[in-house]
């Protein structure tokens, strides 16, 4: 524009018409000035095609599309969205989608339902593990009220998180068509809210539980033998076990590793207010899903062994006491240490109804 206005006055006198007489003179000057502006523009463009070629924006090249595809955002990248930290094409989104929908989703289902199948088969073929010796009726104190409360709180939270998490991954394939949109909308919304608010609580309590159980779960040499004998399934006799046997320790360390990873990735997903990027959350989501589905599958094993799978186990976590016969069979090394502390059922009842202060510390190896 500057170029054109600079040239215009030079051209005006050449046309000559601008010098007409009368009161129209001024109007005509203005008119011609405007007309000549238009002609000048055409003249310049036609006169210098090479110059036009040089200054024209080049066509978009393959390099630019390659740049888009790579997701690269350099210092000269602009996005008109006010707080956007996105690139033009989020190529990692497709990777995330494939990982989640093609791998995590089907294999998670196989893991969880596979575990249900294995446990059912195990129960039907091998059956419940009954106590080898008859109960003596004398009880050993195993879990304090605090530990039992902690266990059941974490367990309830775990089950809630597992069910809501499974609903978030698989619910739409089952419940939407089953219940209709109104109920499904409420159900999935409640799942998300429960999952997001209870998750952090679970994480904190899990850490507390892990810290309190650490000293009972230090791996020992006899744990290896425990695994070699499949926890007593393979070979004769029951392998040695302290307060916690090899299987319990494995579950402990799985929670202490994979569990913490699931909790940590959950925190990444749950607090978008810290502005973590899409890519970070994609990976956090995959890690969270893989870890959580794995833990859910293993937890089914833990639940089975702790309830219907083994006679005498559940009462440890409900009453806090176990029978001598159970302790001797499953935790022989612990039994040797605490056998002189065994009490009768009447004494247990007396303790429970009366002075609860003695219910604080379990008889554990120090």
| Site for another protein, rule CB under 8 A | 57-68, 74, 76-82, 84, 86, 88-91, 93-94, 96-97, 100-101, 167-169, 171-172, 176, 181, 184-185, 188-189, 191-192, 196-197, 200, 269-273, 275, 278, 281-282, 285
Q: Whose Cβ is closer to another protein: residue 280's or residue 319's? A: 280
Provide the 10 A C-beta neighbour count for residue 97.
11
User: In the bound complex, what is the minimum distance in angstroms from residue 336's beta carbon to another protein?
Assistant: 49
Cα(358)–Cα(215) distance, integer angstroms: 21
CB 115 within 8 A of CB 297: yes
CB 158 within 8 A of CB 217: no
Residues 306-326 as b or e (16 or more Cβ within 10 Å = b): beebbbbbeebbeebbbbbbb
Provide the 10 A C-beta neighbour count for residue 109.
15
Cα(117)–Cα(136) distance, integer angstroms: 35
CB 267 within 8 A of CB 203: yes
Q: Whose Cβ is closer to another protein: residue 17's or residue 66's? A: 66
Whole-angstrom Cα Rg for the chain = 38
Cα(320)–Cα(145) distance, integer angstroms: 7
CB 169 within 8 A of CB 105: yes
Q: Whose Cβ is closer to another protein: residue 44's or residue 268's? A: 268
Q: Whose Cβ is closer to another protein: residue 168's or residue 348's? A: 168
Find the angle CA(238)-CA(245)-CA(206) to the nearest 5 degrees.
Answer: 160
3-state class (DSSP) for residue 366: coil
3-state class (DSSP) for residue 236: coil
User: In the bound complex, what is the minimum distance in angstroms from residue 80's beta carbon to another protein?
Assistant: 4
Looking up tokens 């989020």 gives 90
Q: Whose Cβ is closer to another protein: residue 188's or residue 258's? A: 188
Q: Whose Cβ is closer to another protein: residue 192's or residue 215's? A: 192
User: In the bound complex, what is the minimum distance in angstroms from residue 78's beta carbon to another protein?
Assistant: 4
User: In the bound complex, what is the minimum distance in angstroms from residue 55's beta carbon to another protein?
Assistant: 10
Q: Whose Cβ is closer to another protein: residue 101's or residue 120's? A: 101
CB 116 within 8 A of CB 300: yes
User: In the bound complex, what is the minimum distance in angstroms from residue 264's beta carbon to another protein?
Assistant: 15
CB 135 within 8 A of CB 344: no
Q: Which two tokens stand for residue 168?
A: 């978030």
User: In the bound complex, what is the minimum distance in angstroms from residue 279's beta carbon to another protein?
Assistant: 9
User: In the bound complex, what is the minimum distance in angstroms from residue 268's beta carbon to another protein?
Assistant: 11
Q: Whose Cβ is closer to another protein: residue 166's or residue 314's? A: 166
Cα(85)–Cα(74) distance, integer angstroms: 12
User: In the bound complex, what is the minimum distance in angstroms from residue 86's beta carbon to another protein?
Assistant: 4
User: In the bound complex, what is the minimum distance in angstroms from residue 217's beta carbon to another protein?
Assistant: 31
Q: Whose Cβ is closer to another protein: residue 67's or residue 229's? A: 67
3-state class (DSSP) for residue 363: coil
Q: Whose Cβ is closer to another protein: residue 268's or residue 303's? A: 268
User: In the bound complex, what is the minimum distance in angstroms from residue 201's beta carbon to another protein?
Assistant: 11
Burial degree of 272 (CB within 10 A; 0-12, 13-18, 19+):
exposed
């Amino acid at each position: 524009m500057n170029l054109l206005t600079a040239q215009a006055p030079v051209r005006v006198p050449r046309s000559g018409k601008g010098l007409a007489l009368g009161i129209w003179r001024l109007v005509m000057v203005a008119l011609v000035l405007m007309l000549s502006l238009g002609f000048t523009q055409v003249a310049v463009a036609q006169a210098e095609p090479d110059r036009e070629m040089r200054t024209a924006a080049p066509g978009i090249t393959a390099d630019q599309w390659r740049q888009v595809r790579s997701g690269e955002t350099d210092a000269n990248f602009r996005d008109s969205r006010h707080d956007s930290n996105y690139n033009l094409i989020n190529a990692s989104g497709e990777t995330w989608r494939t990982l989640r929908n093609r791998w995590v989703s089907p294999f998670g289902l196989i893991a969880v339902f596979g575990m249900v199948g294995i446990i059912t088969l195990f129960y039907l073929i091998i059956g419940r593990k009954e106590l080898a010796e008859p109960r003596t009726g004398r009880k050993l104190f195993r879990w304090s009220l605090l530990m039992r409360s902690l266990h059941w709180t974490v367990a309830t939270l775990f089950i809630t998180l597992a069910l809501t998490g499974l609903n978030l991954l698989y619910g739409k394939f089952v419940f939407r068509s089953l219940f209709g949109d109104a109920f499904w909308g409420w159900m999935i919304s409640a799942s998300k809210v429960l999952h997001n608010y209870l998750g952090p609580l679970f994480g904190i309590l899990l850490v507390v539980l892990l810290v309190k159980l650490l000293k009972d779960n230090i791996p020992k040499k006899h744990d290896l033998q425990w695994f070699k004998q499949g926890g007593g399934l393979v070979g004769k006799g029951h392998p040695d076990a302290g307060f916690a046997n090899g299987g319990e320790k494995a579950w402990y360390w799985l929670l202490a590793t994979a569990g913490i990873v699931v909790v940590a990735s959950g925190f990444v997903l749950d607090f978008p207010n810290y502005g973590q990027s899409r890519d970070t959350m994609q990976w956090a989501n995959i890690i969270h899903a893989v870890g959580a589905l794995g833990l859910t599958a293993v937890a089914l094993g833990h639940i089975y062994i702790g309830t219907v799978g083994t006679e005498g186990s559940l009462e440890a976590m409900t009453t806090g006491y176990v029978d001598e016969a159970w302790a001797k069979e499953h935790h022989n090394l612990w039994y040797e240490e605490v056998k002189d502390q065994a009490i009768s059922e009447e004494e247990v009842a007396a303790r429970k109804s009366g002075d609860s202060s003695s219910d604080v510390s379990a008889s554990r190896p120090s």
